[in-house]
Amino acid sequence: MTDPARISYIPLESNPDVFNTVTHSLGATNLEWHDVLSLDEPDLLALVPRPVLALALIFPTNDRYEAAKREIESRRDPYTGTGEAEDLIWYKQTIYNACGTYAILHAVSNGAARGLVDPNSAFGELIARCKALDAKDRPRALEESVELRAAHEKAAVQGDTAAPANAAVEVDYHYTAFAPSPTTHRVCELDGDKKGPLDTGLTLGGDGDMLSPAIVDLIKGYIARDGISPYFGLIALVQRQ
């Protein structure tokens, strides 16, 4: 049974054009998303403009994934960062099926990408508003954002896959983002469905590229943990030329 009080969005297709629609509709027009077509073929990796500022990974969810997530999360405390002292900006996901938009929010709100956002744009104002809020109020700000909903709805009807008629229908795929801290340059997984940012143990290199060999190996590890389905999608955020 679905919860009638739960806010639900139509899920986004794993497509850079769809992600660009959300990003640009919110005013972050000097950023853009590109498909990462391979993690093994140098010629295909070279097609992605550099440096990559952040990554969004889509992968299938299954019982193995959910069990591993529960085990890891049981050992972590909920995130409480807020205000100017906050290093990373993390958003708890409370909008059902909106994990694609939360991946966009996490990617654009952190690392070098944040500095490229016009503070007077809808995206810039949303980041500033959320940064000042505590953990319980930040999700509400996203739920109540007319601009965020409009940008998502505009993008959700794009792409090659027909959008589901019911936004509350459960889907079997999930997005997570990877972005660096703007101060320590530690690479973190930013997933709104978890308790907070998860430090991957990697530090961004001096070139600022989130598709370095070490990070590529990290992403391969996330893909390999599924062990059942070969399907995944990876989209890279870069500065628009």
Active site residues: 99, 174
| Tokens standing for residue 22 | 């959300």
Strand arrangement, sheet containing 31-35: 31-35, 233-239, 54-60, 173-180, 186-190, 198-203
3-class DSSP state of 176: strand
Check if the beta carbon of residue 220 is closer than 8 Å to that of residue 19: no
Check if the beta carbon of residue 59 is closer than 8 Å to that of residue 240: no
Check if the beta carbon of residue 34 is closer than 8 Å to that of residue 50: no
State how far the Cα of 193 lies from the Cα of 175, in Å rounded to an integer: 9
State how far the Cα of 145 lies from the Cα of 141, in Å rounded to an integer: 6
State how far the Cα of 11 lies from the Cα of 135, in Å rounded to an integer: 24
| Tokens standing for residue 116 | 């490229």
| C-beta neighbour count of 47 within 10 angstroms | 12
Gyration radius (Cα) of the chain, Å: 17
Tell me the angle at which helices 146-156 and 122-131 cross, rounded to the nearest 10 degrees: 130
Minimal CA–CA distance to 18: which of 56, 46, 44? 56
